[in-house]
Amino acid sequence: MSARPSLLEVEELHAFYGKSHILQGVSFRVEEGEIVSLLGRNGAGRSTTVKAIMGEVPPQGRIRFKGRDIAGLPPHRIARLGLGYVPENRDIFPGLTVRQNLELGIKDPRRQGRWTVADMFKLFPNLEARADVPGGVLSGGEQQMLTMCRTLMGDPALVMIDEPTEGLAPLVVEQVARLLDEIARRGVAILLVEQKLTIALRISRRLYVMGHGRVVFEGTPASLRADPALRREWLEV
């Protein structure tokens, strides 16, 4: 009997911006319900990796999600297969209210998913307080929460989150960390691109460190903590 395939399998992924060879044979996997972090300095290729998986950058290589080849599919088809993506740029609809932004995330209104608008308001009471306010007037932290919550409303099996705590106040960072814990508690896998090592070490089951467009380390949080030389070479500024 063959082993069950991983939820997401990436093999020998290459990607280019013009003539620049950004990803140079990236391989990794994410299992069902697992939190995996992609770490590395700015420019290592982490954001390009998730954009290539999502079809926003043309990929070369093998990308399988739920056992299906998705390399080269358009982003909307990939999303409908159950792969969520929270980009770094907080891509909300500024003219729509918070509630309308959340409702737009629902992919199939006939089916009850893991998440409801009430869930989001319970997790983030400040979003509930501003439910009927246009998204464009929210703070940066509130927009980040709204983007993550809208993606979850589509009930993904795996959500890729790019730098969710970038530029946020410490209190908001802690709220985001609690949301990541809750996502995992409900059985949703997470591929997290994150600069803050403390959060990644706290919530991840496994970590990949990228450098110069390649994976240079794969292991557990404990193994990364135990390797100061690797952290100095590939992570610390």
| pTM of the model as a whole | 0.91
pLDDT tens digit sequence for 122-151: 888 889 999 999 999 998 888 888 999 999
β-strands 60-65, 68-69 pairing: antiparallel
Assess if residue 1 is contained within a domain.
no
Please count the helices (runs of H) and the strands (runs of E) in the chain: 10, 10
Q: Would you say residue 3 has pLDDT above 70?
A: no
Assess if residue 92 is contained within a domain.
yes
pLDDT tens digit sequence for 65-108: 999 999 999 999 999 999 999 988 778 899 999 999 999 988 77
Assess if residue 188 is contained within a domain.
yes
Assess if residue 109 is contained within a domain.
yes
DSSP 92: -
Assess if residue 3 is contained within a domain.
no
Residue 26, domain CATH: 3.40.50.300
With cut-offs at 50, 70 and 90, classify the pLDDT of residue 196. Answer: confident
Assess if residue 63 is contained within a domain.
yes
Assess if residue 42 is contained within a domain.
yes
Nearest to 34 by CA among 151, 208, 166: 208
Domain that holds residue 63: 8-234
Tokens 């993550």 sit on residue: 148
Assess if residue 149 is contained within a domain.
yes
- Written in H, E and C, the secondary structure of 89-155 is CCCCCCCCEHHHHHHHCCCCCCCCCCCCHHHHHHHCHHHHHCCCCEHHHCCHHHHHHHHHHHHHHCC
Nearest to 30 by CA among 134, 161, 211: 161
The pLDDT of residue 165 is 85
DSSP 97: B
Q: Phi and psi (nearest 5°) for 172?
A: -70, -35
- In the chain, how many domains are there? 1
The SS3 of residue 182 is helix
